Amino acid sequence: MNSQPIVRIEKLAKRFGEIEAVAGVDLEIVRGELFALLGGSGCGKTTLLRLLAGFETPDAGRILIDGQDMTGVSPHLRPVNMMFQSYALFPHMDVAANVAYGLRRERVPKQEIRTRVAEALALVKLDGHGARRPAQLSGGQRQRVALARALVKRPKLLLLDEPLAALDRKLREGTRFELVRLQEQLDLTFIVVTHDQEEAMSMASRLAVMDAGRIAQIGTPHELYEHPASRFVADFIGIANILDLGNGQWLALRPEKITLSIGRPDMAQAISGEVVDIAYEGDRSLYRIAVKGGPVMLVSRTNTVRTSEEAFRRGQTVWLGWNNDAGQVLDG
Amino acid sequence: MGRKSAAGDLTMRAVIALPFAWLILFFLLPSALVLAIALGTNAPDAAPPVELGWSLANFGLLFTDDLYVAAWLSSLRIAATSTLAALLLGYPMAYAIARTRPERRPLLLMLVVLPFWTSFLIRVYAWMGLLAENGILNQVLRWSGLAAHPGTILGTEWAVHLGIVYGYLPFMVLPLYATLEKLDWSLLEAAADLGARPIAAFFTVTLPLSLPGIVAGCLMVFIPAVGEFVIPDLLGGTGTLMIGKVLWDEFFTNADWPIASAVAICLLVLLVGPIALFQRQQARSLERR
């Protein structure tokens, strides 16, 4: 396998009027990884994807795909395919024609087109649906047609713009694993844009958190969760208690890293507070605890025992304890 | 919904009945009258100059007399080529308007319909002024030295085509715009992403998806163009044979009401076909949505 990165983005910038959509991004994506671009709306993740596909022209910087400079290369000549958030299926063509579209443009022989379309449809478990129109399919089936259409050209790089956003919750979880399976089975490189941190964390081998056109942090899901580089990342991914340590230093402490007890715990850090609110979520309960003279902190507790209701009552004074390595110290 | 009151029911019926009454009074009844006249015979001394009857001779004449057959054929030909020209001119216009920024579109659309603020007849007269032997066009040509002895466009079929394309272009542009404006442009990005050059993307995505607009626009130009009278009469001169003009001549010059009526009935029947086609197309595109 080639160790050269499949994508290399250098000092990429794009602005729309007053808005800096992408403001100097450097990024390398390794061959065969499932990379997620995560961020809130307007953070520039979709613009970055569109720059990769060639639908937008960068104001500065450049993109190399498989070592080739993509500057000035039209979308139809790029070795990438994209799965659109709206799926963008051609409504006047049946499923097979949609999937075959890219191969027809390459003037692949008819017989080969037929076998490759059948293969692609089988891959997304839509065998026998070739003659249907997109309008006759369910949302989940349409999503799979879009995927098959993008995969059938065997691109070096597949771009997925919010691939699961239009699906309902149950379907989303199943499809998530399905996408990872396909990516591993076909040994392709995926770049997934999403605003859903749970989605990004569970799918990606690495992810980048974007904020205001810049990359806030790149790392594995574990690195981003346990070792956030900034208060923004700590706050954006999961839930974090951010405590002021003074001297411009902060401690990001995850709710599940804190233990609750009636008596003072034998831990490096211990403070007491009053339970102000309990949110029961079934698998766990989230406690909001007002620390005396301090902030309101969030503590989560796994509900391992079925019989009792909540271990602590509202209004009760409890102790919060954690070890010194439980949180991440941040400088900004 | 609750129970409908009797008064509400009556109002409902009245609302539905009104357009029907309108159509019966101003469309069906006059058409029946025209048909009755077409089945009669010419009676120059009577007033009106018709003797009613059940004769199909007038219709027979339309299919046997070379003049009528030639007029039909040349009407269809001129309408068809003008429609094609209007399509080739109107499509890029509609496309350009649909692709400009949304806030600029109303202005451009207004420019398309702006000619309607002036009477159609006056605008056709203006073309006479442009195209006449000593018209503005030829004066400019002579003055600029591009052509010392330019020919005259007025009085030729070229002028008729020009007039029809000019007069009916908005009817081509508006339905085309309506379909192109609804087109999901991400489909074109998808086509490009899958390796389609812009020209291929146009022919495989944009064109097929704008087909309802093309059909609507073409019929809206073709149908009135076939029976057009003012344009061939004013711009076409004596050399241009069109059925609308023949009809006018039969009625006003020859005062042969039955023949004129037969021509009118034939024109109506001939145009019902395309109109039915148009309505089916509309119904189908509605269904698809």
| CA–CA distance, B214 with A309 (Å, rounded to integer) | 68
- Cβ contact A53:A159 at 8 Å: yes
Nearest-CA residue of chain B relative to A153? B194
Whether A236 is in a domain gets the answer no
Instruction: Write down the ipTM of this complex.
Output: 0.86
Q: Look up tokens 């069109």; give the residue.
A: B242
Mutate to test the interface with A, among B101, B184, B194 (most CBs of A within 10 A): B194
B186/A149 CB distance under 8 A: no
Read off the amino acid at residue B146: L
Altogether, the residues listed in chain A come to a count of: 332
Residues A63 and A162 in one domain: yes
Q: Which residues sit opposite A19 in a β-bridge?
A: A16
Q: Domain holding A279: CATH number?
A: 2.40.50.140
Whether A237 is in a domain gets the answer no
Residues A139 and A255 in one domain: no
Residues A112 and A177 in one domain: yes
Structure tokens at A323: 């070890």
Q: How many CA atoms lie within 13 A of B31 on its CB side?
A: 11
Whether A2 is in a domain gets the answer no
Which residues of chain B does A80 touch, with a Cβ-Cβ cutoff of 8 Å? 193
Q: Which residues contact A215 (CB under 8 A, 6 or more apart)?
A: A25, A26, A27, A208, A209
B194/A86 CB distance under 8 A: no
Task: Tell me what pLDDT residue A263 has.
Answer: 87
Partner-chain residue, chosen from B189, B194, B209, that has the shortest CB–CB distance to A92? B209
Mutate to test the interface with B, among A51, A90, A149 (most CBs of B within 10 A): A90
- Cβ contact B228:B244 at 8 Å: yes
Residues A283 and A206 in one domain: no
Task: Tell me what pLDDT residue A227 has.
Answer: 93
Task: Tell me what pLDDT residue B241 has.
Answer: 87
Partner-chain residue, chosen from B192, B195, B288, that has the shortest CB–CB distance to A106? B195
Partner-chain residue, chosen from B187, B193, B200, that has the shortest CB–CB distance to A81? B193
Task: Tell me what pLDDT residue B238 has.
Answer: 81
Q: Which residues sit opposite B5 in a β-bridge?
A: none
Instruction: Say yes or no: A17 contacts chain B, CB-CB below 8 A.
Output: no
Q: Which residues contact B197 (CB under 8 A, 6 or more apart)?
A: A76, A105
Structure tokens at B187: 């489909």
Residues A77 and A211 in one domain: yes
Q: A152: closest CA among A205, A114, A209, A109?
A: A114
Does residue A1 carry a pLDDT above 50? no
Domain range spanning residue A221? 7-231
Assigned fold of B65-288: MetI-like fold (1.10.3720)
Residues A114 and A222 in one domain: yes
Residues A255 and A171 in one domain: no
Residues A43 and A138 in one domain: yes
Nearest-Cα distance to chain B for A97, in Å, is 11
**How many Å is the Cα radius of gyration of chain A?**
24
| CA–CA distance, B147 with B138 (Å, rounded to integer) | 8
| CA–CA distance, A43 with B100 (Å, rounded to integer) | 26
Which residues of chain B does A77 touch, with a Cβ-Cβ cutoff of 8 Å? 195
Q: Look up tokens 């211990």; give the residue.
A: A270
Q: Look up tokens 């050399």; give the residue.
A: B239
Task: Tell me what pLDDT residue A151 has.
Answer: 92
Q: Look up tokens 């009104």; give the residue.
A: B18
Residues A278 and A248 in one domain: yes
Say whether B35 sits in a helix, a strand or coil.
helix
Nearest-Cα distance to chain A for B188, in Å, is 9
* Residue B115: cis peptide before it, omega within 30 degrees of 0: no
Say whether A298 sits in a helix, a strand or coil.
strand
Residues A136 and A182 in one domain: yes
Q: B222: closest CA among B183, B171, B279?
A: B171
How do residues A144-154 score in pLDDT, each as one tens digit?
999 999 999 98
Residues A218 and A253 in one domain: no
Instruction: Give A29-54 as a DSSP string.
Output: E-TT-EEEEE--TTSSHHHHHHHHHT
Of A209, A231, A253, the last residue of a domain is A231
Highest mean pLDDT among A156-170, A269-283, B86-100, B264-278: B86-100
Task: Tell me what pLDDT residue A194 has.
Answer: 94
| CA–CA distance, A275 with B234 (Å, rounded to integer) | 92
Residues A31 and A52 in one domain: yes
Task: Tell me what pLDDT residue B138 has.
Answer: 87
Structure tokens at B206: 């944009």
- Phi and psi for A280 in degrees, rounded to 5? -85, 120
Instruction: Say yes or no: A149 contacts chain B, CB-CB below 8 A.
Output: yes
Task: Tell me what pLDDT residue B155 has.
Answer: 85
Whether A39 is in a domain gets the answer yes
Domain count for chain A, please give it.
2
pLDDT tens by residue, chain B, 289 residues = 445 577 778 888 888 889 899 999 998 999 999 999 999 888 888 778 888 888 888 888 888 888 888 998 999 999 999 999 999 999 999 999 999 999 999 999 999 999 999 999 999 999 999 998 888 888 888 888 888 778 888 888 999 999 999 999 999 999 999 999 999 999 999 999 999 999 999 999 999 999 989 999 999 999 899 989 999 999 988 878 898 888 888 888 888 899 999 999 988 888 888 788 778 877 776 665 4
Structure tokens at A190: 């995926």
The Cβ of residue B12 has, within 10 Å, a number of other Cβ atoms equal to 11
Instruction: Say yes or no: B193 contacts chain A, CB-CB below 8 A.
Output: yes
B192/A74 CB distance under 8 A: yes
What is the separation, in whole angstroms, between the first and last Cα of chain A?
39
How do residues A14-32 score in pLDDT, each as one tens digit?
999 889 999 999 999 999 9
Average pLDDT, chain A: 91
Question: Is residue A261 packed enough to be buried (19+ CB in 10 Å), middle (13-18) or exposed (0-12)?
Answer: middle
Q: Domain holding A38: CATH number?
A: 3.40.50.300
Which residues of chain A does B194 touch, with a Cβ-Cβ cutoff of 8 Å? 76, 81, 101-102, 105, 149, 153
Instruction: Give A240-256 as a DSSP string.
Output: -EEEEEETTEEEEE-GG
Partner-chain residue, chosen from B186, B195, B204, that has the shortest CB–CB distance to A84? B186
**pTM for the model:** 0.83
Of A182, A201, A231, the last residue of a domain is A231
Q: Which residues sit opposite A329 in a β-bridge?
A: A251
Task: Tell me what pLDDT residue B53 has.
Answer: 84
Backbone conformation region of residue A72, classed left if phi is above 0, alpha if psi is from -120 to 50, else beta: left
Interface of B with A in 4-63 (CB under 8 A): none
Of A187, A203, A231, the last residue of a domain is A231
Does residue A6 carry a pLDDT above 80? yes
